[in-house]
Homo-oligomer: A and B are copies of this chain.
């Protein structure tokens, strides 16, 4: 298993080592399971109140949508087509009436938005909200993190930094603008784009949950390549200029270190050209932007106008 640096990933590395043959290869967005002539993709994703969200920020319906969309995003990153979701919900007794129903509305809507059904779940009383979403899909052309090759171009869907902008406004006790709020509360799992990129020969793909800086490192580590990102090309969310100004850092760095955008980062062979990206983007309703390249070597590096940039808080060669 090859993950980028970080204490969370050290823990996962130790678990994989200790489990040995009791575990399948871990560390990709999805587990892949061959059943007859089909390949299934499975992923599971835990969302906790006061860790991943606060009740005061989001409606119950939005909490359900967001947790489900985040889990479905792992299927998107595998190029998979969603089939169903299983929802385990821990709910405080005071919320076990209408709020629970609204939360499950959000789960059901996110699933239905990508053609998946709620297949089952579990319900328990808890001190605070707990949502675990397991997603299952079929993957005709599964794309793992490990297939990137030197010479590949690196593309990203959508715009970056919106979820971080919302989060920081909330943490400052303010209300985010509606576009930033939407990024955080109602992310879109990029299922059509993921499938389209897989069909067009994607070598490696990952969804941006930890943030571009960290996730680019995972893709590079898994592919055994170096990844170089040109910060000047990053597609920025409309809220980032103001949010970065408030934070006192350049907008591109702000976006590169923002997490939970749930966009796709993908290594495409050089034959995949700008024109093809544009037509795929129109087909899927989301822009594709070329932001970097893979090369021999290791680690992730970030460049601005030809100068290597150290991303504060992110140690890319650690």
Asked, given contacts A35-B36, A86-B42, whether A26 binds B120 with beta carbons under 8 Å apart, the answer is yes
Would you list which residues of chain A between 135 and 177 have a CB under 8 Å from chain B? 136, 138
CB distance from A294 to the nearest CB of B (A): 25
Q: Does A180 contact B (CB under 8 A)?
A: no
Asked, given contacts A23-B118, A42-B119, A124-B46, whether A18 binds B104 with beta carbons under 8 Å apart, the answer is yes
Would you list which residues of chain A between 241 and 265 have a CB under 8 Å from chain B? none
Asked, given contacts A124-B46, A130-B130, whether A19 binds B118 with beta carbons under 8 Å apart, the answer is yes
Chain B residues with Cβ below 8 Å from A31 are: 84, 86, 119-120
Q: Does A210 contact B (CB under 8 A)?
A: no
Q: Please tell me if the beta carbons of B117 and A22 are within 8 angstroms of each other in the complex.
A: yes
User: Which residue from chain B places its CB closest to the CB of A14 in the assembled complex?
Assistant: B101
Chain B residues with Cβ below 8 Å from A127 are: 127-128
A40 to B138, CA, bound (A): 13
Q: Does A56 contact B (CB under 8 A)?
A: no
A193 to B86, CA, bound (A): 26
A101 to B118, CA, bound (A): 32
Q: Does A48 contact B (CB under 8 A)?
A: yes
Q: Please tell me if the beta carbons of A33 and B84 are within 8 angstroms of each other in the complex.
A: yes
- Option from B42, B44, B138 in Cβ contact (under 8 Å) with A88: B44
A104 to B23, CA, bound (A): 10
Interface residues of A: mostly helix, strand, loop or mixed? strand
Asked, given contacts A42-B86, A126-B48, whether A136 binds B33 with beta carbons under 8 Å apart, the answer is yes
Chain B residues with Cβ below 8 Å from A89 are: 46
CB distance from A270 to the nearest CB of B (A): 32
Q: Does A285 contact B (CB under 8 A)?
A: no
Q: Does A62 contact B (CB under 8 A)?
A: no
Asked, given contacts A36-B37, A101-B14, whether A122 binds B45 with beta carbons under 8 Å apart, the answer is yes
Asked, given contacts A22-B108, A22-B109, A111-B22, whether A124 binds B51 with beta carbons under 8 Å apart, the answer is yes
Q: Please tell me if the beta carbons of A15 and B46 are within 8 angstroms of each other in the complex.
A: no
Chain A 105-122 interface mask (CB, 8 Å, partner B; 1/0): 100110110000111111
User: Which residue from chain B places its CB closest to the CB of A97 in the assembled complex?
Assistant: B11
Q: Please tell me if the beta carbons of B132 and A15 are within 8 angstroms of each other in the complex.
A: no
CB distance from A31 to the nearest CB of B (A): 4
Q: Which 8 A-B pairs have the closest CB atoms?
A: A31-B119, A36-B36, A22-B108, A132-B132, A23-B118, A31-B120, A44-B86, A134-B134
Contacts A40-B40, A48-B124 known; list 11 others, CB within 8 Å. Answer: A11-B123, A14-B101, A15-B104, A23-B118, A24-B119, A42-B86, A44-B134, A46-B89, A46-B123, A48-B90, A122-B132
